[in-house]
Structure 1
Amino acid sequence: MTDKAVVLLSGGLDSSTVLYQGKADGYECYALSFNYQQRHQRELDAARDIAAAAGVTQQVISFDLGLWGGSALTDATINVPRDRAPEEMATEIPVTYVPARNTIFLSFGLAYAEALEAKRVYLGVNALDYSGYPDCRPDYINAMQQVFKLGTKQGREGRSIEIISPLIELKKTEIIQLGNQLNVPWEKTWSCYQGGEKACGVCDSCQLRLKAFQELGLTDPLPYL
C-alpha cells in the first residue's frame, strides 16, 4: 500500500513544486487548500488547476481571517507594497504577513493527515525569499514538529506525522529549477497578491518570481499587466 501525504497547496509556485515533489517521493498525495477570504482569491483557481494537473484529490477549507484583518492580504484598507527592492523586503516583517497563518494551515493539515493515517504533511515555506515571515523559518517548523508529535494519537504511539518543507533553504531560482525537473506546469500557478485576471508584476511576490525566471534566462508564462 502506498504511503499517504497531505500537501498544503496554495496554487503558488512554491506549493505547486512541493506537490510534485511529494508525488516524486512516491506518496499518494492529498492536496489541502484554504479560502480564508484572501485578497488574491485567484490563487484558489490555480490550486484547483494544479491539483487536477497532478491528478490528486483536493479539499478546500473555508474560513474568514478577514474578520479581524491585520494583513494586507485580508484587509482591503491596507495597501499591498509595490515596487520594493529585494533588500527592502527583508528588512522587517511585511504587511503581507497574515497573523498565525501557517499555524492555522498546519493544524488543518495535521487533522487531515491523522484522519488519513498519512505519514507526512508537505509545506512550501521558504526562509530565503521572505526572511521576515516568522512562520517560514526552520525554528518554527521544528517547533511545530513537536506539536505534531505531542498533540496527536499517532505521535504519542510513536508514529509521528512528519512535516516536510523541502524548499525552506532554496533560492527562488533553485525552486524553479527543481520545478522544471518535476514538470510543474508554471502556466497554471499564481503568485500575485492582487486578484486580477493578470498578475500585477509589482507586488513583492510577483517581483521575486519574475526576477528568478529572468536570472535563469527563462520566460514566466503568466500574463502580466
Structure 2
Amino acid sequence: MKKAVVILSGGLDSTVCMSIAKSKGYDVFPLTFAYGQRHNKEVEQARKVADYYGCNKHLVVDIDFFRAIGESALTSDRINVPVNRSQEELAEGIPVTYVPFRNAVFLSMATGYAESIRAEIIYIGVNALDYSGYPDCRPQFIQAFQEVIRLGATTSDKGAQIKIESPLIHMSKGEIVKLGLKNKSPLHLTTSCYQGRERACGICDSCQLRLKGFSDAGTKDPIQYEEVM
C-alpha cells in the first residue's frame, strides 16, 4: 500500500489532512512534534486522532530547540498569548505566536521520515487564507521547500520524488470545516487553543479563527469553550 506521512498537530487543519490522506487510500504515518509549546494538549489530542484512525505507528518527536530560543508566545512563558483581538488586528502583520521557521524544521524531519519508510507524500495543513500571518504557511514557501526536497532527497536520484501536499492552503476555515464534516473527521478530538487548558479559551487568535470557521460553515463547534466572543 502507498504510504503518506501526515504532520499531525492535533488541530483542526492537520486532522482534516489526515482524513484526506485516508480517503485517498494511503497507509498513514502521523508525525507529531512536542516542540516546547507552552502546553501538551496538542500532543494529547494528536494521539487521540491517530488512535481514531487506527494508525499502526504514530511517531511523536521531542524538539527542545524552539523552547530554547523562545521568541514566540507559544514557546516562551515571558510572552503573553494575545487575546480579544479584533478581525482587523488579526489581519495585521506577523503575530507573537509565530514560531520562527517552525514549518521548515517540521518538513525537514518529515522528509527524512518519508525517505526512511519509502513514503511518497507528506501532508501538511498549512493555510494561506486564515493563516494568522505566518510566513511559513504561504504557497511560495511550500513550493520552495518542494525544490529543497528535489535537490536534497535521495529518492530524487532514483527517479522518484517525495511530494508535499497542502490541500487546505487556498481554503477558508469555513471550507475546511465543511470538508472535515464531509470526510467524517473526528473534529471533536481536535484542539486549536493556544492556551492548552481543559476547555478552549475562546478568545485567543486561534480560537477566534476556529469559531469563525464553524460559524461560516453553519454548524456548531463540538469542543467546549470557557467563553465565546
* Same fold at TM > 0.5: yes
In the other structure, the counterpart of 1:28 is 27
Deviation digits for residues 75-125 of structure 1 (CA, Å, limit 9, x no counterpart)? 011011101122321210111000010000001100000001110000000
Q: 1:131: Cα distance to partner?
A: 5.4
In the other structure, the counterpart of 1:63 is 63
- Paired with 1:78 and 1:210, the residues of 2 have a C-alpha distance of 24
- Paired with 2:186 and 2:143, the residues of 1 have a C-alpha distance of 31
- Paired with 1:70 and 1:188, the residues of 2 have a C-alpha distance of 29
In the other structure, the counterpart of 2:206 is 205
Secondary structure of residue in 2 paired with 1:6: strand
Secondary structure of residue in 2 paired with 1:33: strand
Alignment of 1:37-186 (within 5 A): 37-56=36-55, 57-64=57-64, 65-130=66-131, 132-186=133-187
Q: 1:212: Cα distance to partner?
A: 1.5
In the other structure, the counterpart of 1:16 is 15
- Paired with 2:173 and 2:195, the residues of 1 have a C-alpha distance of 20
Amino acid at match of 2:35: Y
Answer yes or no: is the 8 Å Cα contact 2:174–2:215 preserved in 1: no
Answer yes or no: is the 8 Å Cα contact 1:126–1:168 preserved in 2: yes
Answer yes or no: is the 8 Å Cα contact 1:42–1:196 preserved in 2: yes
TM-score (norm 2): 0.95
Answer yes or no: is the 8 Å Cα contact 2:4–2:21 preserved in 1: yes
In the other structure, the counterpart of 1:193 is 194
Identity of aligned residues (%): 51
Answer yes or no: is the 8 Å Cα contact 2:19–2:183 preserved in 1: yes
Q: Which runs of 5+ in 2 are unaligned?
A: none
Q: 1:130: Cα distance to partner?
A: 1.8
Amino acid at match of 1:62: D
Q: Which runs of 5+ in 1 are unaligned?
A: none
Answer yes or no: is the 8 Å Cα contact 1:192–1:200 preserved in 2: yes
Count of residue pairs brought into register by the alignment = 224
- Paired with 1:131 and 1:143, the residues of 2 have a C-alpha distance of 20
Secondary structure of residue in 2 paired with 1:155: helix
Answer yes or no: is the 8 Å Cα contact 1:86–1:208 preserved in 2: no
Answer yes or no: is the 8 Å Cα contact 1:154–1:160 preserved in 2: yes
Amino acid at match of 2:30: A
Pair 74,122 (structure 1): closer, same or farther in 2 beyond 3 Å: same
Amino acid at match of 1:187: H
- Paired with 1:176 and 1:7, the residues of 2 have a C-alpha distance of 18
Q: 1:9: Cα distance to partner?
A: 0.1
- Paired with 2:183 and 2:26, the residues of 1 have a C-alpha distance of 14
Secondary structure of residue in 1 paired with 2:58: strand
Secondary structure of residue in 2 paired with 1:32: strand
Deviation digits for residues 185-222 of structure 1 (CA, Å, limit 9, x no counterpart)? 11100000002111000001101111121222211111
The range that moved more, 85-94 or 170-179, is 85-94
Cα RMSD between the aligned structures? 0.9
- Paired with 1:131 and 1:216, the residues of 2 have a C-alpha distance of 19
